[in-house]
Amino acid sequence: MFQKTLRWLLPALLLTGLVCLTILAPQKSSSCHPETTAADTTAVALSDECSDFVNLTDIIPDAILEIRYFSTYNFVGARIDGYLQPTALMTRRAADSLKAVSDELKEQGYRLKIYDAYRPQCAVDHFVRWAADPTDTLMKAYFYPDLDKKVLFPQGYICERSGHTRGSTVDLTLFDMNIEKELDMGGTFDWFGCESHPDFGGNPDSGTLNTNSSLTPEQFNNRLILRRAMLRHGFKPIDTEWWHFTLKEEPYPDTYFTFPVKQL
């Protein structure tokens, strides 16, 4: 009788254990920066060759540059390693595509304002070191007031590789030439939170604003103006940052560059 009971009980215990493990195991969080990836065992191609890069303002002379990582007004609160000058670099192919975006939006009365473009690997390494120090919360009130810094790694806000380092990604917004100020996007660059998601408050593909959205119709529409122009000229968005776009046909999809940001 005992043996029969044991034969019935063991599978039930194993099944219960599996269920418990599934419930208790940490769930993989969705990355808020899917252009970045955590380190793995795959070899990474690094390069200090900058011959296929251009100064973005040579291609788009009226682009406004506010290179946040050259300044101290960023989520770290210090100038980031590798930013030697407040300029923006991109691969020539990406810069030419962004020029087409600029030409279209200029006819509507807008100029591009660039926060970041190419980002050297040493800058990403700087972010990683900063994120690993829980005591450094200098800029918490400005960029991540609702987050404990210890979640930045597991939730994917900071990772060890970035699409920016491949040279065909840009962070930007729009400047309205008629009112001489930035468009109100209902959120600021590098805000760590769901408010930065393109679908926050509505569906960016259909252009439908939720009735209970905290974004105003104007703010939601301003995001769409930027997004639609970028998509029309070969860029792809990510689902966590309204300001971030990568050229679909990026010329160096597997290469991470190491040269510093400075005038070429």
Active-site positions? 241
Q: At what angle do helices 217-232 and 92-106 cross, to 10 degrees?
A: 130
Total Cβ atoms within 10 A of residue 234 = 20
Q: Which residues contact 179 (CB under 8 A, 6 or more apart)?
A: none
Total Cβ atoms within 10 A of residue 118 = 27
